[in-house]
Amino acid sequence: MGNNSVVKLQQFYKKRRIIILGGSGFIGSNLASALNELCADIVVVDGFIDGTGGNVCNLENININLIHSRIEDMNNWKDAIEPNSVIFHCAAKNTHRWCNLYPQEDCKINYYPQFSIIQAIRTSHPSVRLVYCSTRTVYKDIAESLVTETAEILPQDTYSTHCFSSERLFQLSMPLQQIRILRLTNTYGPRQRLSGDELGLVGEILHAALNNDFYQVFQNGMARRDVNYVDDVVAALLSMAMVEKINDPIIHLGGDWVQTKDIIEYISEITGWTNYEYVNIPSKTISRLSIRRAVDLLNWEPNVDLKTGLTLTMNYFQLNKEKYGISK
C-alpha cells in the first residue's frame, strides 16, 4: 500500500466511530487490528455464538470497546451509532453443511438480525454506512473460469441463500449510498477458526499440519480454489467504506486461484509436515472470481502471495495453538 493510500486511510478513519459486528471473529478481529493502527474509535459487538469463530483472544492488545451482545439485540448497542459511523457487518456462522440441517437456526443467525440492523440505521444519521460481508457461494455453480458480479445467482445452500437474501434486504430497505456489499472467497490467515466443524479447505489443511494428522488430498491435488490472505480482504473492506459515490454496491474479491497441491506443498515446506497422500477421489475446481470491479473502484488487488500468507498464518498458530483449541 502506497504512502498516499495510507494517508487517505488515516484521514478517513482517525477518531471515526467504527462498529464491527462479529468483531471477535476471524475477519472482524483482523479488521479491528487494522483500524486500531489507524486510531479509529472502535466498538465491537459480538455474541460469541458457537461455530462463528468468536474468540476473546482475537482482540488481545487491540484498543476497543467490547459489547457482549447478539447483534440483533439493538438496545445493547444502537446508542454507539454516531453521525458518519461505519458499520462493518462481519457477523456470520458460515458452516455450509450445518445450515442445511438446521435452516431455522441458520436464519436466526444469518438473516433475521438484519431487520433490527436496518431499523437502527434508518433511525440514525443518514451519513452512516454499512459494509456487509457476503459470500461467493451466492452464484450458480458454473464451469466458466472467471466469474463476474453479473453472473447468475443461485445460492448453493441455506447459508448462501440467507446471505443473498440479506444483500437484497439491505438494498431494498436502505438508500444506495449507505450500502456496500463484498462477496468474499476463501479467506485464510491469523485468528481464523481452526477448531470445530467445517473449517474450509485451508483451515482443514492447517489443522492437520499443526497436529501432524493424516490428510487425503482429493483429485490428486489438482482442483483449484480462490484464496485470499486476510490482510488483503481487510484492505478492501477499509477502501470500500471510503467510496463516496457508488452506482452498484456489490463487489467481490477474487484471490490467488491455486491448486490444492500448492497449499499442501507450501505448508509441508514451511513446517516439515508430510503426513498426507494424493488420491484420485473427485474434487471440483471452483471458478475464479474476477477482480476487475475491485481494481476499478478500489484500486485493489491481492498483494500477499500464497507462500508468504501461509508462512505468516502458520507462524501465528504455532505460537498460539492453545488459545484456539487446536491441540489434541
Q: CB–CB of 62/37 below 8 Å?
A: no
Least confidently predicted of 144-153, 157-166, 184-193, 302-311: 144-153
Task: Count Cα atoms within 13 angstroms, Cβ side, for 78.
Answer: 14
Q: What is the pLDDT of residue 4?
A: 61
113 pLDDT above the threshold of 80: yes
Question: Is 3-192+228-254+287-304 a domain of CATH 3.40.980.10?
Answer: no
Q: What is the pLDDT of residue 7?
A: 86
Contacts of 130 (CB under 8 A, 6+ apart): 86, 87, 89, 117, 121, 170, 174, 178, 179, 180
Question: One-letter amino acid identity for 173?
Answer: S
Contacts of 232 (CB under 8 A, 6+ apart): 253, 255, 300, 302, 303, 304
- pLDDT 10s digits, 38-82: 999 999 999 999 888 889 999 999 999 999 999 999 999 999 999
- pLDDT 10s digits, 20-46: 999 999 999 999 999 999 999 999 999
Nearest-angstrom CA–CA distance, 274 and 266: 11
213: number of Cβ within 10 Å: 14
Residue labelled with grid coordinates 487491540: 62
What percent of the chain is predicted at pLDDT more than 70? 98
Average pLDDT over residues 300-321: 94
Q: CB–CB of 168/117 below 8 Å?
A: no
Q: CB–CB of 313/193 below 8 Å?
A: no
Cα 29–chain centre separation: 10
Which set of grid coordinates corresponds to residue 5? 493510500
What percent of the chain is predicted at pLDDT more than 90? 80
Closest CA to 43 of 57, 72, 15, 23: 23
Q: What is the pLDDT of residue 141?
A: 84
* pLDDT level of residue 199 (50, 70, 90 thresholds): confident
- pLDDT 10s digits, 235-262: 999 999 999 888 899 999 999 999 999 9
Q: What is the pLDDT of residue 1?
A: 55
For 186, the 3-state DSSP assignment is strand
Q: What is the pLDDT of residue 249?
A: 94
Cα 257 to Cα 146, 185, 233, distances in angstroms: 10, 10, 15
Q: CB–CB of 13/40 below 8 Å?
A: yes
3 pLDDT above the threshold of 60: no
Q: What is the CA radius of gyration of the chain?
A: 19
Q: What is the pLDDT of residue 328?
A: 52
Residue labelled with grid coordinates 501465528: 316
- pLDDT 10s digits, 124-148: 888 999 999 999 999 998 777 789 9
